[in-house]
């Protein structure tokens, strides 16, 4: 499997100013470099699978028309994996992410999340599971513009019902993980696209979810910033024991996946 090289070196080639405390590496000629792989803490994966999707179909009704978007999807997500969905625009990737994240329910088929029948749960039960165990990252970052990086992450902890006494340490930790300890009090408009996406990552992992769903998280970024986001993804998979399922079009980024599912017209091809 191809992977980004890493060293602790700073590079003048990067057009983003870097924190000296950044845990992310720095890019040289489009390659992420830092000294050593992230330290792996003791962690045993639970016995049940993180996610199983079985024969899932999604049909939308628009007026009298039926639009058959997903046509029998089977997939699995293991613990601490980086899994990618690729496919043309309109092939059904976002529809599938919405089902996995419990924002929508399948027309047919089953989705098991940590062994539990997600597809049978009502809206409130799925919302509770989502708040506890799932984080989302979007192409356009979805940060609140009037809040600082720190306050954006804080909002996520507030929404998840994390006790207030734990906020400060967790927010600081998450922003350090994504290499933004010196940008904590900046608002989104004072940050580059890559930095904003890293705030969005800190926000998505703050409540310690088990699964991150990222819909084209690098599509708005140049290749250097995209590579940096991928480096942060790899680090948080190790240190926070998270699985990331993301969509992308970028073949270079796909090289770092543990598994790639290719979607064509609502089905996976092998
Ligand atoms: N709520 C909806 N109602 C009707 N059609 C939809 C809805 N959501 C998605 N679709 C259709 O499903 C297809 C797949 O969309 P989407 O999942 O967004 O694809 P992708 O993310 O791969 O670009 C598109 O043709 C889209 O128009
Ligand atoms: Mg999409």
Give domain status of residue 83, yes or no: yes
| 90 CA to centre of ligand 2 in angstroms | 7
Residue 99 belongs to a domain with what CATH number? 3.40.50.300
Contact 63 CB / ligand 1 (< 6 Å): no
> Number of structural domains, the chain?
1
Best residue among 58, 90, 103, 105 to mutate for probing ligand 1's pocket (most ligand atoms within 8 Å of CB) is 90
The answer to whether residue 66 is domain-embedded is no
Residue 133 falls within a domain, yes or no? yes
Atom 3 of ligand 1 has which residue's CA nearest to it? 60
CA of 77 to the centre of ligand 1 (A): 22
pLDDT at 41: 58
Output the residue whose Cα is nearest ligand 1's atom 27. Answer: 90
Q: Is the CB of 137 under 6 A from ligand 1?
A: no
- Which of 59, 61, 64, 69 best tests ligand 1's pocket when mutated (most atoms within 8 Å of CB)? 69
Q: Is 248 in the pocket of ligand 1 (CB under 6 A)?
A: no
Distance CA 11, CA 25 (A): 10
> What is the side-by-side order of every strand in the sheet holding 211-215?
134-138, 211-215, 243-248, 82-86, 259-264, 267-269
Residue entry with tokens 């990252």 = 137
pLDDT of residue 40: 55
Residue 95 CA, closest ligand 1 atom number: 17
37 lines ligand 1 (CB under 6 A): no
Residues in contact with 104: Cβ distance below 8 Å, sequence separation at least 6, in sequence order: 58, 95, 98
Given this model, what pLDDT does residue 188 score?
Answer: 97
Q: Which two tokens stand for residue 66?
A: 């039926």
Task: Supply angle C-alpha 216, 267, 264, rounded to 5.
Answer: 60
Q: Is 144 inside a domain boundary?
A: yes
Distances (CA, A) of 247 to 10, 73, 117, 162: 30, 15, 24, 29
18: in domain: no
**Residue 210, domain extent:** 77-106+118-269
Q: Give the residue, out of 56, 60, 101, 139, with the most ligand 1 atoms within 8 A of its beta carbon, to mutate for a pocket test.
A: 60
Q: How far is CA 6 from CA 19, 81, 159, 216, 225, in A?
A: 16, 20, 35, 24, 15
pTM of the model: 0.86
> What are the pLDDT tens digits along the chain (270 aa)?
444 433 333 333 344 444 434 444 444 434 444 455 555 557 888 889 999 999 999 999 999 999 999 999 999 999 999 999 999 999 999 999 999 999 999 999 999 999 999 999 999 999 999 989 999 999 999 999 999 999 999 999 999 999 999 999 999 999 999 999 999 999 999 999 999 999 999 999 999 999 999 999 999 999 999 999 999 999 999 999 999 999 998 888 888 899 999 999 999 997
Domain-embedded: residue 211: yes
Q: Atom 17, ligand 1: which residue's CA is nearest?
A: 92
* Count of CB atoms situated within 10 Å of the CB of 81: 18
Residue 259 lies in a domain: yes
Ligand 1: residue whose CA is nearest its atom 7: 60
Residue 69 domain flag? no
CA of 69 to the centre of ligand 1 (A): 7
| HEC sequence for the chain | CCCCCCCCCCCCCCCCCCCCCCCCCEEECCEEECCCCCCCCCCCCCCCCCEEEEEEEEEEEECCEEEEEEEEEEEEECCCCEEEEECCCCCCHHHHHHHHCCCCCCCEEEEEECCEEHHHCCHHHHHHHHHHHEEEEECCCCCCCCCCHHHHHHHHHHHCCCCHHHHHHHHHHHHHHCCCHHHCCCCHHHCCHHHHHHHHHHHHHCCCCCEEEEECCCCCCCHHHHHHHHHHHHHHHHHHCCEEEEEECCHHHHCCCCEEEEEECCEEEC
Distance from Cα 224 to the centre of ligand 1, integer Å: 30
Pocket lining: 87 vs ligand 1, CB cutoff 6 Å: yes
């Amino acid at each position: 499997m191809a992977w980004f090289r890493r060293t602790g070196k700073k590079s003048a080639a990067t057009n983003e100013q870097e924190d000296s405390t950044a845990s992310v590496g720095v890019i040289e000629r489009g390659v992420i470099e830092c000294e050593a792989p992230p330290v792996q803490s003791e962690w045993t994966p639970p016995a049940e699978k993180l996610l199983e999707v079985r024969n899932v179909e999604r049909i939308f009704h628009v007026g009298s028309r039926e639009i058959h978007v997903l046509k029998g999807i089977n997939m699995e997500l293991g613990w601490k994996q980086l899994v990618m969905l690729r496919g043309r625009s309109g092939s059904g990737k976002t529809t599938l992410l919405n089902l996995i994240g419990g924002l929508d329910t399948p027309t047919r088929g089953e989705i098991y999340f940590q062994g539990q029948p997600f597809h049978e749960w009502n809206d409130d039960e799925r919302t509770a599971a989502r708040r506890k165990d799932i984080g989302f990252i979007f192409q356009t970052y979805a940060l609140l513009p009037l809040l600082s990086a720190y306050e954006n992450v804080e909002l996520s902890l507030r929404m998840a019902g994390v006790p207030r006494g734990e906020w400060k340490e967790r927010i600081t930790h998450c922003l350090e993980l994504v290499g933004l300890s010196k940008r904590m009090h900046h608002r989104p408009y004072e940050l580059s696209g890559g930095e904003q996406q890293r705030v969005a990552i800190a926000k998505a992992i703050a409540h310690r979810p088990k699964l991150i769903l990222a819909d084209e998280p690098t599509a708005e970024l140049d290749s250097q910033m995209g590579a940096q986001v991928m480096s942060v993804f790899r680090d948080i998979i190790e240190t926070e024991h998270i699985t990331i399922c993301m969509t992308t079009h970028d073949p270079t980024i796909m090289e770092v996946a543990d598994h790639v599912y290719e979607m064509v017209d609502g089905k996976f091809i092998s």
